[in-house]
Every structure is written in C-alpha cells, then in structure tokens.
Chains A and B, each alone.
Chain A
Amino acid sequence: MKKKGWKELPIGGVILEAGNTRGYATGDWRTFRPVIDLDKCTNCMRCWIFCPDSSVVLVDGKVDHFDYDHCKGCGICAVECPENVKAIAMIEEAEAKEGK
C-alpha cells in the first residue's frame, strides 16, 4: 500500500474507517502465544469475554482458534479458563515458530 502524504490525511490523526485495525497486524510483538486443547474446552466462553483484543475466534458459536494477527499474548484467556478445565496453555512464541 502506498503511504499517504501529509496533504492527503484526515486532520488530527482521525481514522475515518471504523474497525480498520483488522487490516493491521498488531500481534507481531507477542512473546507468548495461547494454544487451546479443544478436547478439554467446555465452551464456557470466559476466554472470549475476557480477551482484550477480540482474538478468540468462534465458529458456529464454539471456541475454535485464536487470531494470531491480533492476539498480543497477554495470557488473560489462559488465566480466566476455569481451574478444573485449563484448556489454554501459553507457549513461547519462538518455540511455536520453530514448530515445536
């Protein structure tokens, strides 16, 4: 995408298109990533409610995967997953990238 010059931008740094963060990968500085064990998950939706970046993705109303383009790796989902379930593990990003 060609970047705009100063005369072409809306004033004051205002963003005119609602929800355009979708097109901007904000999760690339994550050091830990959440990984879900769907066999354990009871679909209580706590992780989906608590995720500050709307990165828990549902398919047909059920927790399915994480949006790693926007997940910042805060680990809130893993903490909020109930004690007797603990379906989410936080693993090192470097290890995940090496495919371990």
Chain B
Amino acid sequence: MGKLVALTGNIALATAMRQINPDVCAAYPITPSTQVIEQFSEYVADGLVDTELIAAESEHSAMSACIGAAAAGGRVMTATSSQGLAYMWEMLYIAAGMRFPVILACVNRALSAPINIHGDHSDSMGARDSGWIQIYAENAQEAYDNLIQAVRIGEQMDVRLPVMCCMDGFTTSHAIDTLELLDDKTVRDFIGEYKATHPLLDVEHPVTYGALDLQDYFMEHKRAQAEAMKNSRKVIVDIAKEYKKISGRGSIYFEEYYMDDAEVVMVIMNSAAGTVKTVIDAMRARGEKVGLLKPRIFRPFPYNELADALSNVKAVAIMDRADSVGAEGGPLFMEFKSALYGRKNQPMMINKIYGLGGRDLMLNDIEEIYKELREIKNTGKIKALSEYITVRGEEAAYGKA
C-alpha cells in the first residue's frame, strides 16, 4: 500500500520524474505544464536526482537536446503544452524515426489562434501521426501511473519508441487531487536500468545517427518503425498488468464504466470522464442503462478491443475535445468509425465536439447527450452526425446524418 498524498497533477508528474531519476531533462516552460519542470528543477537543485537539467531556449531546442541526449545513451524526459508541442513538431518525428524512447509529459492545452491557455486536446491530437505512443489520463493518479509505465513501454527492446503522456491542462494539472504514490525503491525496481541500443558515448563502437536515407532504404526503416508500434500493443498490456501487481491500480487500453449491460454509451478521454461517471451514477440510480468507455491508449489505437467493447451497444456518442477541421468529425470519431467499419454489430454513432479552449462540460450537457442517444436507439434515426455542443448561436452539423 503506497502513501496517500494531495498534489496537483503537475506535481504528481514531477514526483514521478523524481522517482524515475532520468539522465537528462531538457525543457522550456509553457503554461500549463511549467510547474512540472519548475518543481523538478528544485529536485535537481536539492540533489534528489542525478539528472542533467538543460534549460533550453525553445521547445524545438528542448526536443533537439532530448534527441541528442538519447543518442548519447541517456534516459530522457521533458514536458510541454500547446504551442510548445507545436514548436517541437519536426523534432517529434525525428525522435520517433530514430527510435529514441524519450518520455514527454503533455499537459493538454488549446492551440492558438485565438490565444487560449486552457485545456483541450488539439495539441496532442495534432501529433497523433508523429510516431509517438500516446497515453491519456483522467486525473493526477493516472497521470502519475502512466508516466512510470511509459518508461518501461518505450524502452522495451522490440518497441524503442517515444511516449507522450497526456493529461488535461488546469483541470488536472493545477487542481489538487488525492493520489497514492509508490515508494521510490518500488518505482526504481519497476523501471530498472536503461540500456541504450547504440549509445554515441560508447566511443569504442562509433556509429552514425541521422544519415541520409533515400528511395532505396527509407521505406524499410519506416516499415520497421510501424512494426515497433505494433509490438507496443502487447507490451502495453504486459506492463499494465505488472504495474497493477505493485500498485493495485489501472486499466489497459481503456476503462469501462458500467459497460456490461450498457445500451447507450459515451466515449470520452481525460478529465471529462470523471464528470460523465457522476452523471452515470445518477442515471443508473434511476435504472437507465448508460455506460462510459474511456480510452487510455490512443496510439497504438486498440481498434479490435474497442470494437469488441462496443459490440453489444446500441448507440454511442464519441466525444472529441479537438476538431479536425474539414473532416467528418473529430479525430477520435474518425478512429472509431474506421475501427467499427466492416463489423457485424455496429452501434449507431454520433460525434460531439466539446470543451475547446477549456469550455466546461456540465452534468446537464452530458445527460442531454444520453437522452439523445436513447432517442437514437429507440427511433434508429440520427439528426446530426457530428456537431459542436455547448456553443452559442446556430448549431452547425457536419456529415451525412
């Protein structure tokens, strides 16, 4: 049994970083992730970790320094949000393509313009094709647990990919939450020692990183990278099970809440899932068969498992806290549609874009969606395939209803 503490999500992450004790941490501050590195830099200054902390001049440089340090042979971590992640963009692909298990804590925040510092998933969703494993957290506890597991997942020999651990800006990053910490030794035993594949600091065995790779070999390297992401599917399961043994906590690909007999279901990620659970408790007390499916792993997308989980459901609302402008719905919706394509038991599906730039999703909004789903289940008719909710003015619905 671990120690029960009250921490903000950011400090929970900094605590996990202290326990992980990475070789190098290169970062540049940005709201709402600033506090992660601010707190961690105190641990460095106090000598609680052996980490070399690099205060870079930008996020592009921060990720570049992470890549360099990983090539040298180090276990490397950083944190960022929003524009910071956007500014790392080209380096994200390079970390993944060079197969460095860099760990990035992404405190989700909207992307400008207009400028906004509050939570939504536009930043990490935009990076979904960058080759990083992506894990999402509902609260400080999950964020802490995910960060520790990320080290093991990324470093697995047949994976060797960077991992992005996401949680909501402010709602999770700045609110004080209770969580249970593992003791330092348990964490260190769990993550074990890092063995770099071809460290540049091994001067007896010189290697070249970042060489030109043209028509004759580029595709083979990309194919191998795709295989690594595929391999991570099993690793994620194994590590989650092993972590559960030491902590007693955690789901694998996703969490199911009252899914056993649920007829109508909401799919939602991160902090808003907590609000949905409150609504479900109230509706279940009235005998309504409502459920929640909360994805934890977004990359690799667990399409088979998710499709199986929805196979007995009649109607589903996929909740996107980011839009893919010009597409027929948000990024999560598109993934679910493709996961369910060709399946025998497809539920009817609608998509809601919510919470952009930190807009609240209230209990009543959620209950309205469950009512709409029940209507869809009863009539077999969808009014709007994808639409913005909790927005003032006329509703613009997308897609073939």
Contacts and interface: CB of A to CB of B under 8 A. Distances in A.
Contacts of B228: 11
Interface of B: 97-100, 160, 197-198, 205-211, 213, 216-217, 219-221, 223-224, 227-228
A13 B213 contact: yes
Contacts of A18: 206-208
B99 A11 contact: yes
Q: How large is the interface on A (under 10, 10 to 19, 20 to 34, 35 or more residues)?
A: 10 to 19
Contact of A9 (B97, B160, B221): B221
A7 B223 CA distance: 9
A6 B207 contact: no
Given A11-B99, A12-B97, A4 B220 contact: yes
Nearest to A4: B220
A14 interface: yes
A14 B220 contact: no
A85 interface: no
B217 A14 contact: no
B197 A3 contact: no
A9 B217 contact: yes
Contact of B208 (A3, A4, A6, A15): A15
B198 to A, nearest CB: 5
A12 B208 contact: no
Interface of A is mostly: loop
Interface of A: 3-7, 9-16, 18
A11 B160 contact: yes
The 10 closest A-B pairs by CB, nearest first: A12-B99, A15-B208, A6-B220, A6-B223, A18-B206, A12-B98, A11-B99, A6-B224, A13-B221, A13-B213
A15 B99 CA distance: 13
Contact of B216 (A3, A5, A14): A3
Contacts of A11: 99, 160, 197, 224, 228
Given A15-B211, A18-B207, A6 B227 contact: yes
A13 B165 CA distance: 26
Contacts of B198: 10, 14, 16
6 contacts: A10-B198, A12-B98, A12-B197, A13-B98, A13-B213, A15-B207
A7 B224 contact: yes
Contact of B207 (A3, A4, A14): A14
Contact of A13 (B205, B206, B210, B223): B210
Contacts of A5: 220
A21 to B, nearest CB: 9
Interface centre among B97, B100, B198, by most chain A C-beta atoms within 10 angstroms, is B198
A26 to B, nearest CB: 9
Contacts of B220: 4-6, 9
Contacts of B100: 12
Contacts of B97: 12-13
A7 B220 CA distance: 8
Contact of A6 (B205, B206, B221): B221
B58 to A, nearest CB: 24
B382 to A, nearest CB: 43
B140 to A, nearest CB: 34
Nearest to B94: A12
Contacts of B197: 11-12, 14
A84 B207 CA distance: 42
A13 B207 contact: no
A9 B97 CA distance: 13
A23 B197 CA distance: 25
Contacts of A15: 207-208, 211
Contacts of A12: 97-100, 160, 197, 209, 221
B203 to A, nearest CB: 11
A18 B206 CA distance: 6
A16 B227 contact: no
